[in-house]
Structure 1
Amino acid sequence: MDFVDENLGYFYESGNSPQKLYKTTNGGLNWNETNFTKFPMILKFYDMNFGLIYSPNFADSTKEINRTTDGGLTWESFTVSMTGWGNDIEFVRGDPSKVWFTDWLGLYFSSDSGKTWTEEKLSDSELKGRDIVFTDDNSGWLICDNGKIYRTTNTEPGVTALETEKVIGSSYKLMQNYPNPFNPETTINYQLPFSSYVTLKVYDALGKEITTLVNEFKTAGEYQIKFRSSISSGISSGVYFYRLKTNDFIEIKKMLLLK
C-alpha cells in the first residue's frame, strides 16, 4: 500500500491470483480496480501522476519495472536484471529521476526514473536489504535484516559515502564478565532495547549484597561498567553473582574472583 497524500492511495491484493491493483481518491473509503494487469510486488508513487511497480514473472523468472506518468491510466514496462524478488523502492526526495531499489541480494540505483538500473556494490555479501528511507534530498538509509543499517549522503550512482551504523539489539542482554576469573578488576556489559530504570548489583554466594554498580534511568543502548574487588572491604576469593534488573527483565550471572 502507498499513499501519495491523505486522499490518494494505491494497494494490491496479496495471496489472490491474479493480484489486482486498486486506487482510492477519498482516503480509503472507496477503492476502484485499475487496469494494471501484471503481478504487482512493490509499488511506489512519487506524486499523483508518477509511479513505479516492480513485477516479477514467475513463469520465466524475468522481472519488470512498470512506470506510469498519468496516475495509473497507462503503463510502460522495462525488463530489469535484479536477481532477487524485491523488497522496497524509494524515490530520492525532490528528484523523481533518481530511484533506489533493494532486495535480499542487492542494492540498485536508477537515474532515469526506473528505466535502467545499476547495482551498487557493498562490502556485505549478505545484504538482506529490507527498507529504504530518505529523510531529505541527500540523506538516505538502507535497513537490512542482517542487523545492519547503511547510510548515504550522496544520491548519485557509485556511492562512496555508505556507512554501517550500529543497531541497538531487540532484546535485553547481560553478558558474561571478562576476564573471568578476575583479579582485581572485571568488565560487565549489558544491552537495553528500551529505556528503563536499571539496577546492577553484586552479591556473594550467600546472597548478601556486596555493592551496587548501577542504580539509575538508562536510555536504550549498550553499556559497560567495571567491578573492582577493592570496592568493598573484606571481599575474598570465591564465587560472586551480578544481577541486572529493569522494569520487565531480570538476569543473573556468576563470576569468580581469584586473589
Structure 2
Amino acid sequence: MKNFYKTNLLVLVASLIFATDQFEEVITEESDNISYQNNIDFDTRTIQLWHDGSWHNKWQWMKSYDENGYLTESEFYHFRDDDWSLRGNVTLTNNDIGSPISKIKQIYIQDSLYNRSLNEYVYNDSGDLTQNTQYKWYNNSWNNRSLVELQYEEGLFTNSTFSRWADSSWTNRYYKEISYNENSQRDVKVGYKWTDSGWTELHKTEYSFDDNGDLSQKVLSKWTDSGWAIKARITIDRDDYLNPVEILLERLDSANVWINVSLRENTFFDSGMIMESISSRWYDDEWHYKKRNEYSYVNGPGRSSLSTVSLESLPTQIKLNQNYPNPFNPITTISYDIPKGEFVEVKVFNLRGDKISTLVNEFQNPGIKSYQWNGTNDHGNSVAAGVYIYTIQAGDFQQSKKMILLK
C-alpha cells in the first residue's frame, strides 16, 4: 500500500509565492488545489496535449514507493522523437509516519543528474508541518533560498509567513492567513505582501460548501484602491460518490457578466481513484480540448481492498496497517491482521479524544480485514478536515495510527 508523501499544506506552501501582478498564479493554484482520492498517489501520470484533432504525449511522472508505501522517488520524463527521455528526478527521505523530512530535486543533462534544490521540513508533536526551508545548489554547496513558517490553532492551519534570504538574513515577503467556519471548514484565505508600511492585502479566496460538507465553490478577489473586487470563481460539481467530476473556472468581465475560462472533467474508477482528467479552454463560444492527464496504478484501481486469505497465509500476529490513501478525500481504507478469533473494535477519534465513528464492533474470525471510512461521524454527518486517530482493540491488544482528511 502507498501513502501520499506530502500533506495538503505542502501544496499550499509550494503555491505561496505570488506578487501583486501574479493574480493568475493564485487562480491557477486554487483551480488545481481541488482534492480527490488518489489524484496524487499514482504510479504513473501521463500528460498529453491536444492538437491536429488527437492527443499527443508530452510529459510523464513515475513514482517509486518503499515497503511502507511511502513515496521515495519521482522521475520526470519528456516525450520527444517518439520516445520518453528523463528530464528530472526528486528523491525524498521520510520520517516514521511517512511525512517527508527532506526533498532533493535534480535535473538530467547529458546523461548526468545535477542538484537543483533541497527542501527540509520540520513538524510539531502533532505531525503538523511548521517549517519548510528551501536551498538552492550553486558553487558546489546548498545555499539558503526561502523559508516558510506555519502556525496552527487547535490543529487547524491558520497562517504562514514566506521569507527570502537576502543580505545574510531572512526578509519578509508574503503572509497568508486562513479563517474557518463553525464546522472547522476553511472559510476565507487572505494573502498579503510585505511593504515599507507593513503587510498589505493582495488576494482573497472565499470558500463555500454543499450540504454534504464538501467544497462547492471558491470566489477569488483582488485588492484594489477601493477595496476587494471579485475577479473569478471556481465551481465544483460532484457525482453521487462525491467525486469532483467537473471543475469550472469563470471570470467576471467589466460588465459584471461571468465568462467561461476553463473546464476540467474528471473520470473515476468505482473505487474513487482518478482515471482521467481532461482540461478544456473556452473560446469561439465553445469548449476546446487542451490537456489530458491519464493515471495508472501498478496494482490496479482499488488495490487497497484486501481479499480473503487462505489458511496457509493467515497472519501470525495482530497488526494495524497505515490507512490508504493518506491523506485522503473522501474515502480511505483501514486494514488490519488478526491471527485468531477475537472481539474487535475499530474506532475513529479526533485529536481531543472525542469518538467520531465506530467502524467495527463485533467478533471476527482470523484473517486480513479492511473497512472504509468516508469521513463521516456515527450520525452520518461529514466531519471537518484535519488529523484523526484510528484505533483497534482486539482482546488485550490495542494500537493507534494517525490519518489526514482533506477537504
Into which bin does the TM-score normalised by the smaller protein fall? 0.3 to 0.5
Instruction: Indicate the structure (1 or 2) with the bigger Cα radius of gyration.
Output: 1
Identify the structure with the greater strand proportion: 2
TM-score, normalised to structure 2, is 0.23
If asked which structure has higher relative contact order (CA below 8 Å, sep 6+), I would say 2
